Amino acid sequence: MATEEVNKPQSLPPYPEIILKALEALDEPSGSSKSAISKYIESTYGELPDSTVLGNQLNKMKESGELVFNKNNYMKADPSAPPKRGRGRPPKPKTPLPPGTVVSPPRPRGRPPKDPNAPPKSPKPKATPGSGRPRGRPKKISRSPSATAAPGAVSSGRPRGRPPKVKPQLTEVSVES
């Protein structure tokens, strides 16, 4: 039993308390770094059980507003300082509703789902535009080679485009031995 009491680590005060004491003792004007805080705690209370616990506690205290993080240094939050604002435009102040008004739930985002029980809609009749011509690019009119050519165009008898590649004919070579 005596060996269990010797090997048992000394009980440490809560981490936030230790961190605040370290910041007071270090008393640096621009705040203290994480490594400086851990060195002070190790020199005062002995070996720390886990290095990640200190980082987690510092982050918790930073999120709760007990500490301010500036340029990789932690310092105590000034109680007279205004609360820290988030990024972006601040929300508009909400005007209180008169008593007795019922607030309807907000509409869901996005397109409403189709009703599976609704009958299918009949197609809308197509309205012709005022000019009488159909919309879009006109259809391509196929011309036969015997069709009359445009006036002034000279027909060379060759089709348009690149001619097909000519493949050389293979000749059989007989080998006599």
Domains of the chain from N-terminus onward: 11-75 (1.10.10.10)
Closest among 72, 90, 88, 85 to 32, alpha carbons compared: 72
Q: What's the one-letter identity of residue 85?
A: R
Instruction: Report pLDDT for 10.
Output: 59
Instruction: Report pLDDT for 1.
Output: 44
CA atoms within 13 A on the CB side of 10: 8
Note if the pTM is more than 0.75.
no
Closest among 62, 11, 65 to 54, alpha carbons compared: 62
Exposed, middle or buried: residue 62 (CB in 10 Å: 0-12, 13-18, 19+)? middle
Instruction: Report pLDDT for 132.
Output: 77
Q: What is the pLDDT along the chain (177 residues), one digit of tens a residue?
A: 444 444 445 567 788 888 888 888 888 888 888 888 888 888 888 877 677 888 888 888 888 888 888 888 888 887 777 766 778 888 888 888 888 888 888 888 898 888 888 887 777 766 655 677 788 888 888 876 555 555 555 566 778 888 888 888 877 777 776
Judge contact between 39 and 32, C-beta under 8 A. Answer: no
Task: Identify the H or E element spanning 75.
Answer: strand 73-76
Q: Which two tokens stand for residue 33?
A: 């770094």
Whole-number Å distance between alpha carbons of 14 and 57 = 10
Q: How far is CA 165 from CA 7, 154, 169, in A?
A: 92, 25, 13
